[in-house]
Amino acid sequence: MTRFALTLEFDGGPYMGLQRQSHGPSVQQAVEDAAFAVTGERVIMYAAGRTDAGVHALGMRAHIEVEKPLAPFRLMEALNALLRPAPIAVLDCKVVTEDWHARFSCLGRAYIYRIANRRAPLTLERGKAWQVTKPLDADAMHRAAQALVGLHDFTTFRSTHCQSASPLKTLDRLAVRREGEMVLIETEARSFLHHQVRSMVGCLALVGMGRWSKEDVVAALAARKRQALGLNAPPDGLYFVRAIYPET
Amino acid sequence: MTRFALTLEFDGGPYMGLQRQSHGPSVQQAVEDAAFAVTGERVIMYAAGRTDAGVHALGMRAHIEVEKPLAPFRLMEALNALLRPAPIAVLDCKVVTEDWHARFSCLGRAYIYRIANRRAPLTLERGKAWQVTKPLDADAMHRAAQALVGLHDFTTFRSTHCQSASPLKTLDRLAVRREGEMVLIETEARSFLHHQVRSMVGCLALVGMGRWSKEDVVAALAARKRQALGLNAPPDGLYFVRAIYPET
């Protein structure tokens, strides 16, 4: 058996999420089906993150194990050929040792969230950003965001369907900046709770509109209950950017 | 009658082009139909450029004339509401005098062409960039591009369907740069011939791959015949960026 580490890019629009679902198409199913077509083997794909329906990836990491002897470049090319026309691409493929696990070896995850802050409907960015029509104060959002950085009980910012054993997480970075009409929110942590990024972005958007203060964010965090959440941002603007692993 | 200048953004993917066509949907038809729904008037839209099927716009300028008294903001909001779900948005709308003509008053046009220079199939950028898998030397492309700047007979870089009276055009700018895996080509002129940008980009891509030298570009230009063209780039990567008008 050879273990291959994959770097995946995908448009999450057509999928129920990364993880295999009984009720619709998933990125996992598409990659596993392509791998079956290449190898004749029913492989299982493990990924660094389990992104939701509609969430995109620029550099998701995953691994599969294959019996058939294949060079990494050949496997990547074959997977890309067989994935067409699905909007999923393998950007990189390399052999790793059996102690390298896309999910369990991962030391950090980074996401970016894109808000299109404009009045006109989206055209080229449709499904690729969250449109917020009220003007956003990105500096106020950045200042409020710093209240969430560090070790906290993120129960307020966690889906009621979250399966994580603990709501305690350390948020390493949450930075907001404006680039023209786009407001970009970058965040990094060892791991995130289900819906955590979208929930943080939703509340920061309320701050940007002037409806919430930084103190409201602090109070929502301290409340430690989902009902204290101001707003959950839609999946369209969310991108899994990269996963970090120990140097090997 | 009031004349309104519009700034349009659109995803050209679903359209046969900007201009009304008998054989399929156009941006012009979509905007005129929306204007009819708002005003009950059969307006005609005039635009700064007549982009081809699949070509996008970030800031196309156009104008329409309306009898019904309407504030520009109200008209813009109504057009945007009625254009949904078409991927066309009115970014700006203002009243102009009757001597302002979107096409004939226009002093300059700017386009950007986006090449995704990578091996993996496109996912999020599909239909929004031209994928070139061979590595491109953007600096060599930029140097070769300078041979096209200035007043030239652009017959080689002109579609056989071009309706322009003369193939003589002055190209003001043609600049190539790399940003990560994207190679961006920006160009400006008072006006362009039909397919001129895509034809220039196609030949510059040959230079980037090392298949053409700067001298080959010079020779193609000097040949003044369409058969000397190396390659015509697809519409997917082309964006009309802005139109320039005299200060009023």
pLDDT digits (tens, 9 = 90+) for B110-138: 999 999 999 999 999 999 999 999 999 99
B102 within some domain: no
Closest CA of chain B from A15, distance in Å: 13
Task: Note whether A116 and A87 are same-domain residues.
Answer: no
Q: Are B46 and B101 in contact, with CB atoms under 8 Å apart? A: yes
Task: Note whether A88 and A143 are same-domain residues.
Answer: no
Domain count along chain B: 2
Task: Note whether A81 and A49 are same-domain residues.
Answer: yes
For residue B86, give Cα distances in angstroms to A122, A126, B10, B237.
Answer: 10, 11, 9, 20
Among chain B, residues having any CB pair with chain A shorter than 8 Å are 9-11, 56, 58, 76, 80, 83-84, 87-91, 118, 120-124, 126, 128
B124 contacts in chain A (CB < 8 Å):
9-11, 56, 58, 87, 128
Task: Note whether B70 and B157 are same-domain residues.
Answer: no
Distance CA A111, CA A242 (A): 7
Task: Note whether A58 and A150 are same-domain residues.
Answer: no
B101 within some domain: no
ipTM: 0.91
Question: Span A200-205, mean pLDDT?
Answer: 98
Distance CA A160, CA A171 (A): 20
A52 is catalytic: yes
Which regions in chain B score pLDDT beneath 50? Answer: none
Task: Note whether A17 and A127 are same-domain residues.
Answer: no
A11, A33, A52, A92: the active-site residue: A52
Of all residues in chain A, the percent with pLDDT exceeding 90 is: 92
Whether residue B245 is annotated as binding a ligand: the answer is no
Q: What is the CATH number of the domain that holds A233?
A: 3.30.70.660
B103 within some domain: no
A153 within some domain: yes
Q: Taking CA atoms, what residue in A is nearest to B57? A: A124
Distance CA B203, CA B229 (A): 7
A102 within some domain: no
B52, B92, B99, B153: the active-site residue: B52
Q: What is the CATH number of the domain that holds A55?
A: 3.30.70.580
Task: Note whether A86 and A149 are same-domain residues.
Answer: no
Distance CA B196, CA B174 (A): 12
B91 contacts in chain A (CB < 8 Å):
118, 120
Task: Note whether B152 and B229 are same-domain residues.
Answer: yes
Closest CA of chain B from A78, distance in Å: 11
Give me the sign of the Cα torsion angle B20, B22, B11, B195: negative
Query: Residue A45 gets which letter from DSSP?
Result: -
Task: Note whether B143 and B83 are same-domain residues.
Answer: no
**What is the pairing mode between strands A130-132 and A108-117?**
parallel
- CB nearest B89 (choices: A11, A83, A123): A123
Of all residues in chain B, the percent with pLDDT exceeding 70 is: 100
A146 within some domain: yes
pLDDT, tens digit (0-9, with 9 covering 90-100), for A4-37: 999 999 999 999 999 998 889 999 999 999 999 9
Q: Residue A228's domain spans which residues?
A: 108-244
Q: Are A231 and A203 in contact, with CB atoms under 8 Å apart? A: yes
The SS3 call for residue A73 is: helix
A198 within some domain: yes
What's the pLDDT band for A227 if we cut at 50, 70, 90? confident
The C-alpha torsion from A190 through A192 and A193 to A196, rounded to 10°, is: 150
- pLDDT at residue A248 above 60? no
Query: Residue B164 gets which letter from DSSP?
Result: -
Which of B56, B124, B133, B241 is most worth mutating to test chain A (most A CB atoms within 10 A of its CB)? B124
Task: Note whether A89 and A133 are same-domain residues.
Answer: no
